[in-house]
């Protein structure tokens, strides 16, 4: 079996990076968190706009997202930065991360006194952790220890012909090896639920898939049925239509190719850690950032992101491999896109191009930086929200 | 000659792999070999061309599954997109 060199963690899957994450529990701590990260090489910051003035499910989704990314295997350790009076307490995040055995430190601005004192304390925590992290040797792991996140964005007609089937081929190899894959974008699965349900490992999982997609469709319908919202109700974007995608079912069918052909093992709730080996559906909307954040929170060490039109986005501390089936997009955006699957359009076999992609995934797992990592893309960290419901 | 790809052998549409002009011959790659077809429309790269004549309400198949239905008769070689397709899913259902 193919192997990669990664970092053992106290529990769960190994990391493919060994960074220190600075995570604010509330947006009020963003500046302190950012400045800690700016002063310490080897850290990433996960700033966000939430953590307070939230209730119920909305607050719970924030808690699950922050705890999930806090546990992320690519982080050697985490410095949690709280304000003190927020709804989502820094201590709750700290305890959740500490329970996995990961190194974690916490500081609370209102207890430290002010911005500068908080930054100083955070910088010292982060520096000590980076020094420890540097001493951890890499170890060899089989690719069955990978959990691959699957995402597409900026879809055009080549996504369904080339990039998604190529990624599907590579995903099949990882899942067949005993690894894990997760796809999501439930808003984009509408119209293909019956096809996905046929692939479920049990009738219960089939029902979970239908419920997950049906609930999302019902939620969207309540938000779009108002007459004033008719021009905001299309589930496919103008860019998709320009690219030749006509219906929501067509988009969904093209999209699910990226998850390959393996049976579907289960449906994961947002923020739920991935379970035994297999292919999973994660319950999360299709927004690029919310979906990639959900994939990270469930434990994917790497996300493969197919794009037809091209996109430069990245996630702090988790490689996002961009691949396209559109050679002219690749040529135009080769500083943003990691892999060209365009040969499939010209008639190359999926096995041929898929083998190259799998090799790329292993190289990235070994530490080769993606374009988005080199350019410090971090816009894919977005916590999903829910008002009511 | 312009090329198009039938993705699944069950498909009754193909995806054109370059911009196609009306009256142009298009070579459609299928699992069982290449088939020639005259385009009746200007069709942009990545868009769909009808591989057969459709009656109104007939299913349009891509990726081996129904993606929508013809909203009027469509001739083989015509461009297939928003103007001649409807889909029950993901649209206003009133």
- Collapsing DSSP states into helix, strand and coil, what is residue A6? strand
A chain contacts of residue B67, beta-carbon cutoff 8 Å: 246-247, 249-250, 253
A316 touches chain B (CB under 8 A): no
Closest CA to A107 of A90, A93, A95: A90
- Chain A 73-102, residues with CB within 8 Å of chain B CB atoms: none
pLDDT at B17 > cutoff 70: yes
Domains defined along chain B, listed by start: 2-86 (2.30.130.110)
pLDDT at B85 (0 to 100): 95
Tell how many helices (H) and how many strands (E) occur in chain B.
0, 9
**Strand A320-324 to A339-340 pairing:** parallel
pLDDT confidence of B94, banded at 50, 70, 90? very low
CATH topology of domain A19-134: Rossmann fold (3.40.50)
What is the 8-class DSSP label of residue A159?
A: I
Q: Cite the DSSP H helix spans in A44-191.
A: 56-70, 90-98, 109-112, 115-134, 157-158, 164-176
**φ, ψ at A174 (rounded to 5°):** -65, -45
Q: Which residues of A touch B79 (CB under 8 A)?
A: none
Residue A171 to residue A195: CA distance in whole angstroms: 18
Whether the Cβ atoms of residue A216 and residue A187 lie closer than 8 Å to each other: yes
Looking at residue A234, what is its pLDDT?
A: 64
Domain boundaries, chain A: 19-134, 142-374
Whether A333 contacts A153, CB under 8 Å: no
Residue by residue, DSSP assigns A309-356 as S-----BTTB-EEEEES-HHHHHHTTTT--EE-GGGTTT--HHHHHHH
* B48 → closest Cβ in A190, A235, A244: A244
What residues of B are in contact with residue A234 (Cβ under 8 Å)?
90-91
**389 residues of chain A, pLDDT tens digit each:** 899 999 999 999 999 999 999 999 999 999 999 999 999 999 999 999 999 999 999 999 999 999 999 999 999 999 999 999 999 999 999 999 999 999 999 999 999 999 999 999 999 999 999 999 999 999 999 999 999 999 998 888 889 889 999 999 999 999 999 999 999 999 999 989 999 999 999 999 999 999 999 999 888 877 666 666 656 656 777 878 888 889 888 989 999 999 999 999 999 999 999 999 999 999 999 999 999 999 999 999 999 999 998 999 999 999 999 999 999 999 999 999 999 999 998 888 889 999 999 999 999 999 999 999 999 999 999 999 986 54
Q: State the number of CA atoms in the 13 A half-sphere of A154 facing the CB.
A: 17
Write down the H helix ranges in chain A. 30-39, 56-70, 90-98, 109-112, 115-134, 157-158, 164-176, 193-198, 203-224, 238-242, 248-256, 288-297, 327-332, 350-366, 371-374
The pLDDT value given to residue B92: 46
Query: Which pLDDT belongs to residue A231?
Result: 60
CA angle (A55, A61, A65) in 5-degree steps = 140
What pLDDT is recorded for position A48?
97
B92 to A233: CB separation less than 8 angstroms, yes or no: yes
Distances (CA, A) of B34 to A98, A268, A344, B3, B37: 61, 43, 16, 9, 10
Among A236, A246, A253, the residue with its CB nearest the CB of B85 is: A246
pLDDT digits (tens, 9 = 90+) for B20-69: 999 999 999 888 889 999 999 999 999 999 999 999 999 999 998 999 99
């Amino acid at each position: 079996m193919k192997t990669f060199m990664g970092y053992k963690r106290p529990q769960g899957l190994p990391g493919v990076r060994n960074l220190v994450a600075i995570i604010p529990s509330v947006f009020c701590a963003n500046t302190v968190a950012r400045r800690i990260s700016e002063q310490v090489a080897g850290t990433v910051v996960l700033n966000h706009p939430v953590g307070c003035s939230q209730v119920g499910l909305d607050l719970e989704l924030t808690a699950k997202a922050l705890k999930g990314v806090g546990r992320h295997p690519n982080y050697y350790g985490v410095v949690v930065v709280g304000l003190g009076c927020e709804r989502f307490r820094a201590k709750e995040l700290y305890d959740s991360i500490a329970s996995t055995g990961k190194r974690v430190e916490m500081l609370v601005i209102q207890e430290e006194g002010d911005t500068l004192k908080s930054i100083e304390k955070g910088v010292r925590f982060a520096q000590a952790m980076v020094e420890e992290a540097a001493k951890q040797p890499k170890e060899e792991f089989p690719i069955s220890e990978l959990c691959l996140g699957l995402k597409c964005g900026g879809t055009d007609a080549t996504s369904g012909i080339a990039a998604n089937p190529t990624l599907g081929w590579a995903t099949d190899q990882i899942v067949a090896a005993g690894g894990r894959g997760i796809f999501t974008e439930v808003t984009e699965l509408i119209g293909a639920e019956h096809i996905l349900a046929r692939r479920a490992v049990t009738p219960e999982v089939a029902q979970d898939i239908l419920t997950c997609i049906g609930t999302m469709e019902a939620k969207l319908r309540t938000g779009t049925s108002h007459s004033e919202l008719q021009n905001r109700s299309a589930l496919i974007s103008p860019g998709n239509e320009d690219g030749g995608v006509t219906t929501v079912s067509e988009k969904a069918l093209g999209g699910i190719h990226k998850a390959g052909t393996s049976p579907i093992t289960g449906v994961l709730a947002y923020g739920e850690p991935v379970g035994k080996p297999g292919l999973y559906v994660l319950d999360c909307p299709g927004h690029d950032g919310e979906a990639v954040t959900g994939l990270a929170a469930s434990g994917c060490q790497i996300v493969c992101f197919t794009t037809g039109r091209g996109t430069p986005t990245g996630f702090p501390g988790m490689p996002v491999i961009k691949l396209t089936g559109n050679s002219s997009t690749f040529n135009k955006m080769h500083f943003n896109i990691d892999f060209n699957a365009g040969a499939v359009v010209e008639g190359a076999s999926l096995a041929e191009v898929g083998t190259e992609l799998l090799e790329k995934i292993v190289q990235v797992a070994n530490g080769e930086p993606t374009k988005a990592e080199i350019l410090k893309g971090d816009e894919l960290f977005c916590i999903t929200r829910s008002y009511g419901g | 000659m312009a090329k198009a790809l039938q993705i699944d052998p069950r498909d009754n549409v193909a995806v054109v792999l370059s911009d196609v002009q009306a009256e142009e011959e298009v070579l459609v790659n299928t699992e069982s070999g290449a088939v020639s077809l005259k385009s009746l429309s200007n069709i942009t790269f990545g868009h769909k061309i009808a591989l057969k004549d459709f009656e109104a309400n007939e299913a349009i198949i891509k990726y081996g599954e129904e993606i929508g239905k013809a909203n009027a008769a469509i001739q083989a070689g015509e461009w297939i997109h928003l103007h001649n397709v409807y889909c029950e899913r993901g649209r206003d259902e009133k």
